[in-house]
Amino acid sequence: MNATENHFVSLEAFAEYENSINWFYSELVRLNTTVYILEQIFDFPLDLFGFHYSPFFRMLIDNFMQTAVLIITRLTTDHGNKHTFDRFKNRLGSLLKPEYHKQLKPHQESAKHILESIKQKLKSLRNFRNAYVAHLAEDFVSGKTSIKRFDLTDLQQIRDALNQLLHILSLKENHAYMMVPVDYSSEVVHPKGSQSDIERIFDSIARNSVILNMPEDNPSMWFFKKQRLTAETIAVLNSYRRKFGLPEMAD
């Protein structure tokens, strides 16, 4: 099904559908970008390059995780918000002309199945939101709470499910959405040598780190330091040294 204004009961109904899809899309771009940046932070060896106690990255991770929780709950479980995926799924039947309800039904059933598959994770996130992010439960302060914590894997699974929901409920079978900014997209062919902002930040951290420059800056310290490093760690360091045109470290 590739919905056009002719599929809807009125121009007002079509406008409501388009406005809703555009809003879901803009919120999901924010969610995908938030999760993408978290993925890059967790993938980068901060400990190796001397940032294991970095208050900046700790705050960044904490705030981005909370932002993701707010976006997800706003899209799925917020009782005060009529623009959730579940409500929109049910609303589509009254927006489309009756002769298209048969084509709509598989979309609604697929959306229902996806929402069911993440129901428990959404419940946990909503409880966390209510107890800490948007409000503050007394049990949370006292440490007596039984509220389940969440991690990046939970956010990734929910993100993927919500991306699927957008594609299903957009009623556009051949339409592809870009879910992150162009600079972060793997679907875009970037100019050779170009880097995103986060890549430049991490490269700067690595290039100016003590350990990466230790063989040249302090050979005697490196002699003892390298004996405590695993082959895997030296391989990581060498990947960065090659990137910056430095000779490889011997293990």
Predicted TM-score of the model (pTM): 0.89
Residue type, 133: V
Mind listing the pLDDT tens digit for each residue in 2-17? 889 999 999 999 999 9
* Mean pLDDT estimate for the chain: 90
Residue 189 forms part of a structural domain:
no
Closest listed residue to residue 209, CA positions, set 39, 37, 54: 54
The span from the CA of 13 to the CA of 229, in Å, is 63
Q: Supply the pLDDT for residue 147.
A: 57
Residue 192 forms part of a structural domain:
no
Q: Tell me, yes or no, whether 117 and 228 share the same domain.
A: no
The span from the CA of 49 to the CA of 73, in Å, is 35
Q: Tell me, yes or no, whether 42 and 66 share the same domain.
A: yes
Question: What is the count of structural domains for the chain?
Answer: 2
Bigger pLDDT: 240 or 144?
Answer: 240
Residue 191 forms part of a structural domain:
no
Q: Tell me, yes or no, whether 205 and 82 share the same domain.
A: no
Q: Tell me, yes or no, whether 153 and 54 share the same domain.
A: yes
User: Last residue of a domain, which of 184, 209, 228?
Assistant: 184
17: region left, alpha or beta (phi > 0 left; psi from -120 to 50 alpha) = alpha
What is the total residue count of the chain?
251
Phi, then psi, of 139 in degrees rounded to 5: -65, -30
How much is the CA Rg of the chain, to the nearest whole Å?
A: 24
Q: Tell me, yes or no, whether 150 and 216 share the same domain.
A: no
Q: Tell me, yes or no, whether 24 and 65 share the same domain.
A: yes
Q: Report, as an integer, the average pLDDT of 25-50.
A: 96
Q: Tell me, yes or no, whether 214 and 96 share the same domain.
A: no
Residue 251 forms part of a structural domain:
no
Q: Tell me, yes or no, whether 167 and 216 share the same domain.
A: no
Mind listing the pLDDT tens digit for each residue in 138-196? 555 555 555 556 789 999 999 999 999 999 999 988 788 899 999 999 888 888 888 99
Query: Is the pLDDT score of 124 beyond 70?
Result: yes
Residue 27 forms part of a structural domain:
yes
Mind listing the pLDDT tens digit for each residue in 62-95? 999 999 999 999 999 876 667 899 999 999 999 9
The span from the CA of 126 to the CA of 78, in Å, is 8
* Residue reference for tokens 């919905």: 3
User: Last residue of a domain, which of 160, 184, 208?
Assistant: 184
Q: Which two tokens stand for residue 239?
A: 């990947």
Q: Domain containing 149: what range?
A: 5-184
Q: Report, as an integer, the average pLDDT of 94-119.
A: 95
Residue 207 forms part of a structural domain:
yes
User: Last residue of a domain, which of 184, 206, 221?
Assistant: 184
Query: Is the pLDDT score of 233 beyond 80?
Result: yes
Q: Tell me, yes or no, whether 67 and 131 share the same domain.
A: yes
Q: Tell me, yes or no, whether 209 and 120 share the same domain.
A: no
Q: Supply the pLDDT for residue 241.
A: 96
Q: Supply the pLDDT for residue 249.
A: 87
Q: Tell me, yes or no, whether 178 and 224 share the same domain.
A: no
- 48-57, 70-79, 113-122, 144-153: range with lowest mean pLDDT: 144-153
Q: Who's near 98: CB < 8 A, 6+ residues apart? A: none
Residue-by-residue DSSP string for the chain = -B--GGGBSSHHHHHHHHHHHHHHHHHHHHHHHHHHHHHHHHHS-TTTTT-TT-HHHHHHHHHHHHHHHHHHHHHHT-TT-S--HHHHHHHHHHHB-GGGHHHHHHHHHHHHHHHHHTHHHHHHHHHHIIIIISS--HHHHHT---PPP--HHHHHHHHHHHHHHHHHHTTBTT-----S-GGG-TTS-PPTT---HHHHHHHHHHHT-HHHHHHHH-HHHHHHHGGGS-HHHHHHHHHHHHHTTPPPPP-
Q: Tell me, yes or no, whether 22 and 114 share the same domain.
A: yes
Angle between helices 231-243 and 197-207 (to 10 degrees): 110
The span from the CA of 233 to the CA of 2, in Å, is 51
Q: Report, as an integer, the average pLDDT of 44-53.
A: 90
